[in-house]
A and B are shown apart, each in its own frame.
Chain A
């Protein structure tokens, strides 16, 4: 059974940092690209970042709103995807989801349950 489980959410002050993790099981993690997508309270979905697989040199992509502040990384030996979030702003408050990407078919078939990040003083 495929599972993606996020952890690490919580309350942080503006300017602070937080690290989210996504623990993956049930598929060959190293074969897949992975994304982070977020959703502010009562709002729509916003793509945040992408990690390509080893075959594509683990290269990354970021939304302009987080570039330079957030870093996506992965550890294939631990089946884990991370999102390091620095210089957090109140507008980063959202539920953060990790999701699997099947590049060959442009399919986004499995998502985690989400981790809430609240940036507030």
Chain B
């Protein structure tokens, strides 16, 4: 069963704009991870944030985690056409087993 639920389901933005997507989950976690999937490819890990962290950055990515609200957000700044992909959050309850959400499909228009 899916624990993480992303919002929105789809997002279309202009190149150079920022893209924000959210993830909500139901049970306690050890960490939350974000993955990207380009069409027809496997998932690629983007960033991991642990339950005792509130914010993390990696290049143009910024992830926040609010354990009191059981939610996380992924911000992609200055988007590029290459950022067009589906983005998934995944939660780990401390057993290495990830529960993935349904994903947000991001389209970056040139």
The judgment on whether A and B are partners is no
Q: Which residues of A contact B (CB under 8 A)?
A: none
